[in-house]
Amino acid sequence: MAVNRVPVLKRCRSLGLDPIYIGIDKKSNRELKRANRKMSEYALQLREKQKAKFIYGVLEKPFRNYYKKASRQRGMAGENLMIMLESRLDNVLFRAGFGRTRMETRQIVDHKHVLVNGKCVNIPSYLVKAGDVVSIKEDAKASQRYKDVLEVTAGRLTPEWLDVDQENLVATVKQLPTREMIDVPVNEMLIVELYNK
């Protein structure tokens, strides 16, 4: 399995991204030394795509497949793409506060700690639907890991499209998110322009 091993804070600096979007509270003390030259249109489009891929932890080939699927659906391709990325199982767990970062929630899913509608799912890219109930397995709930995670994520705001029971580690997807509900600083129209070249 391919994994992006670039240091997180370094990548955030290069993309001009606040690490809080990835779930990291640290700030880098270093400043990015960048020449004061104008970025080309292509560079701006590529940067937006790299931002979306980095935030959601998706590599190039799956990201392209998401875009193809999103462009075949009804509505605007960019909005559909963002909704699909937001409804990934690892992202839903992150939004519910069951993990500090998306990487951690991805590991939780890989270790078979997650149930979707009562069935074990170990695929981080699984797309949840409206009405799905996502929960942590009973035998995993008692572990110290989840107690520590809940302490850290207690102050995190849960999105309005999720109904979360922090005590029992259960989240219900009330509806799929709309683009207005997604607070990720990505201009999806630039991604659409990049893929339509």
Nearest by Cα to 142 from 168, 124, 161: 168
Range name among 35-39, 85-89, 165-169, 192-196 with the lowest pLDDT average:
35-39
pLDDT: which is higher, 138 or 3: 138
Same domain? 55 vs 130: no
pLDDT tier at 36 (50, 70, 90 boundaries)?
Answer: low
**Of 81, 104, 114, nearest to 195 (Cα)?**
81
Asked if residue 2 belongs to a domain, the reply is no
Asked if residue 64 and residue 102 are part of one domain, the reply reads no
pLDDT in tens, 137-195: 988 888 888 888 888 887 778 889 999 988 888 999 999 999 898 988 899 999 999 99
Same domain, 62 and 107: no
pLDDT at 17: 82
In the predicted model, what is the mean pLDDT of the chain?
87
Q: Are residues 171 and 93 in the same domain?
A: yes
Helix (H, G, I), strand (E, B) or coil at 128: coil
My answer on whether 148 and 93 are in the same domain is yes
pLDDT at 39: 84
The rounded distance, in Å, linking the Cα atoms of 195 and 150 is 39
pLDDT at 35: 55
Sheet holding 114-116, edge to edge: 119-120, 114-116, 133-136, 170-173, 162-165
> Minimum mean pLDDT among 22-26, 56-60, 174-178: which range?
22-26
* Counted domains in the chain: 2
The per-residue pLDDT for range 95-126, each reduced to its tens digit, is: 998 988 888 899 999 999 999 999 999 999 99
Q: Which domain holds residue 16?
A: 8-30+39-84+185-195
Report the predicted TM-score, pTM, of the whole model to 2 decimal places.
0.87
Distance of alpha carbon 96 from alpha carbon 116, whole angstroms: 14
- Identify the CATH number of the domain in which residue 64 sits: 1.10.1050.10
Q: How confident is the model at residue 13 (pLDDT cuts 50, 70, 90)?
A: confident
Shared-domain flag, residues 191 and 148: no
Q: Is residue 168, in this structure, part of any structural domain at all?
A: yes
> Are residues 12 and 53 located together in one domain of the fold?
yes
For residues 76 and 110, membership in a common domain is answered with no
Cβ neighbors of 180 (< 8 A, separation 6 or more) are none
The answer as to whether 169 is a domain residue is: yes
Amino acid identity of 7? P
**Residues 129 and 155 occupy one common structural domain:** yes
Tokens 């219900």 belong to which residue? 172
The CATH number assigned to the domain holding 127 equals 3.10.290.10
pLDDT exceeds cutoff 80 at 23: no
Q: Which residue, among 52, 48, 46, 55, has the nearest Cα to 66 in the 3D structure?
A: 52
Is 3 contained in some domain?
A: no
Judgement on whether residues 140 and 106 belong to the same structural domain of the protein? yes
